Chain A
Amino acid sequence: MASIKKISLRRREEFFWGWLFILPTMVGLIVLNIIPIFQTIYQSFFKTGDFGRGNIFVGLSNYVRLINDKDVWQALANTLKYAVTEVVVSIAISLVLAVLLNKKIRFRAGYRTIFFLPMIAAPAAIAMVWRWLYNTEFGLLNNLFGTKINWISNPNFAIYSIAVIGIWSILGYNIVLFLAGLQEIPNDYYEASSIDGASGIRQFFNITLPLLSPTIFFVVVTRVIGALQVFDLIFMVVDITNPALTKTQSLVYLFYRYSFTQGNRGYGSTIVVLLLLVIMFVTIFQIIAQKKWVFYN
């Protein structure tokens, strides 16, 4: 009897402390994320009055407008283009760089610092600098190559120019995660395979990639979610009269324009609900698809 009572007392205490420790995160999540999600969904059924007062219930009419809004579907296409470019290219580059930086080379710490540096700069500042690099008239890029390319105002490729900025600024983050994953891989595998005569490239594809796949999966999922929410780069780089605007604006950019610039929070919320659904489906798909390519040992 005495021992059972002791266990349950201990359990109770663990229960109490356990909840206490996650309480700050829980409160933060509920107040800052969960409640706003439902408020946003709620708002998407309203026509917003001036300054958010006197909202009128309009049923599904915001959704009808959304379905017929060419700009929204173009923005969805832009967002996906951006996300795919940014995630695929940045992961490919950072994977190679991480493997190289994992080797014993001179100035390793120095290189790691350099690649991580873009992460600590403010995105707005990065965007401003790149905007000038890309400038058609006075930009460094065009001056260097002696060209006159409209990097950020040609509707055909402006979104990729913006993706390049995204890739450049996210490399460091991916590299750090990959480095951590690489250090988990036991050296024995490499030793054994090199005795068997495997080249560095074969080792990379047959040992490094499979054993790193859980990390790659994590990076892909979080980066896709992040990239689908791209806003600041586009907002800073593309001016309102830029002819490439409709071909570069993302869903969050449209949300910002409707909700904040035009004070139409109802329609803005509708756009965000669409984004929420897109992110949800993409993420569920990835979690199902991981069974095909992620190896947990």
Chain B
Amino acid sequence: MIKKFCIFVSFALIAVLALISAGSVSAADKLIVGIWDTNQQAGLQEILNDWSAITGIDAEIQVTTWNEYWTVLEAGASGGTLPDVFWMHSNVSQKYMENGILLDLTDRIAASEVIDMENYYPDIVDLYTYDGKYYAMPKDIDTIALWYNKTMFDEAGIAYPDETWTWEKLAEVAKQLTKEDKSVYGYAINTSNNQDSYYNVIYSYGGAVISADKKTSMLADPKTIAGMEVIEGMLREGSVPDLQTISENGTQVLFESGKVAMITQGSWMVPAFRDNEYTTANADVAVLPSGPEARVSIYNGLGWAANANGKNPDEAWSLIEYLGTKEAQEKQAQLGVTMSAYIGTSDAWKNSVPGFNLEGHLNMLDETLVIRPYSRNTTVWETMIQQDLGPAWTGEKTMAEALKEIAEKMNGILAEERY
């Protein structure tokens, strides 16, 4: 009996060993590329295929939604497996670089014949530079612009938004465009993405979110509050949907279904609006309104990073190098995926979607650009702000009250961040 059992166990062990070795033998014939935006998947895959045609190595895109992306990446970085190549974002790049999670690209960039970091927007390069070393290849640059529903403007007999607009003007028109039965609202504030909505207002009023040394919150600054009170005004006038509606649907869905006449959105949304029948027929783009201090777009850019402990660093670099070439960045713009981080390729992007006047986004590049506020652990205070602004959206608290409380909490979080 025991003997039989021993034989069984040894067979089982052999089988397990065979499986393990089969797993580790698999060579780098396919790279996994991690991103979070489905809208960009098709276009990027096309660019990856070009690289595959040159190198003979397949590259497969895996999309995870924004929220889960960071959870999965953090788990992978803490001891699991990361994708070979993946998107990096200013929210967390500092933390990832400091901890050696990202492959150091400095020497490879120096040795490369096709890559010169001078060719990319310097702010974007800075986001992924730590201690004088490069950890990611700039992928794109984005700006925020004002998207509006032409049909609704025509029906109301109001002139389309242009560069003369201020945020007050936007509030005024939003009120005019709001229908009495609330079937259409003038404007919608994206409560789950600060970059494309209220951050722009704050900075164009001369306010700020975080101090330059990233040690203190600026949300209780009088200028910040003044900017946010313009938004509060629209909320009280009822010219924007309430928080319940926004949180259940998001501004994108509301705009695409003709429930709001104007939204402010990032250039990364162009593929989504291009592929939607309603928006291609009715929507167009203008520059953001200006505030008393300036016309400001919060901007940001992603980076292509690789896993420092990956099995295929050379293949991963080869892909990143290709993605940084003028050719690939130009194609990204041409396909209308996003504006590219390579300076001078954006004209191709402007013409990528004939239906929209993308100059609205492009012209924002010449206005005051503020890099999306970040610190070492941006997510923590950003989520807190999103949640604690809730009572201000619903009217339980005044905007000034809410902001003062939030600023205090944020200071606590920032202090903890530095240990």
Q: Which residues of A are interface residues toward B (Cβ below 8 A)?
A: 50-53, 135-138, 150, 152-154, 239-243, 245-246, 257, 260-264
Chain B residues near A150: list those with CB within 8 A.
244, 248
Interface string of B54-72 (1 = CB under 8 A from A): 0000000000000100110
A241 in contact with B191 (CB, 8 Å): yes
Answer yes or no: B78 CB below 8 A from chain A CBs.
Answer: yes
A150 to B98, CA, bound (A): 44
A52 to B99, CA, bound (A): 11
Which B residues between 217 and 249 are near A, CB-CB below 8 angstroms?
A: 243-249
Chain B residues near A154: list those with CB within 8 A.
244
| CB proximity of B150 to chain A, nearest CB, Å | 22
A241 to B190, CA, bound (A): 10
| CB proximity of B370 to chain A, nearest CB, Å | 23
A150 to B246, CA, bound (A): 12
Chain A residues near B75: list those with CB within 8 A.
260
Which B residues between 17 and 74 are near A, CB-CB below 8 angstroms?
A: 67, 70-71, 74
Interface band, chain B: 20 to 34
Which B residues between 58 and 110 are near A, CB-CB below 8 angstroms?
A: 67, 70-71, 74-75, 77-79, 95, 98-99, 101
Chain B residues near A245: list those with CB within 8 A.
387, 390
The 8 tightest CB contacts between A and B, nearest first, are: A153-B244, A241-B191, A242-B247, A150-B244, A52-B78, A51-B78, A241-B247, A260-B71
A150 to B243, CA, bound (A): 11
A284 to B90, CA, bound (A): 49
Answer yes or no: B386 CB below 8 A from chain A CBs.
Answer: yes
Chain B residues near A53: list those with CB within 8 A.
78, 99
| CB proximity of A282 to chain B, nearest CB, Å | 29
Chain B residues near A262: list those with CB within 8 A.
377, 379-380, 383
| CB proximity of A257 to chain B, nearest CB, Å | 8
State which of B70, B74, B248, B377 has its C-beta within 8 Å of the C-beta of A239.
Answer: B248
Chain B residues near A242: list those with CB within 8 A.
243-244, 247-248
Answer yes or no: B318 CB below 8 A from chain A CBs.
Answer: no
Chain A residues near B151: list those with CB within 8 A.
none
B244 in contact with A260 (CB, 8 Å): no
A51 in contact with B77 (CB, 8 Å): yes
- Given the known inter-chain contacts A135-B249, A153-B244, please indicate yes or no for A240 contacting B99, CB distance below 8 A: no
A-B contact pairs, 18 of them (CB 8 A): A51-B77, A52-B78, A135-B249, A136-B244, A136-B245, A136-B248, A137-B254, A138-B257, A152-B248, A239-B247, A240-B67, A240-B192, A241-B243, A241-B386, A243-B393, A260-B71, A260-B74, A263-B74
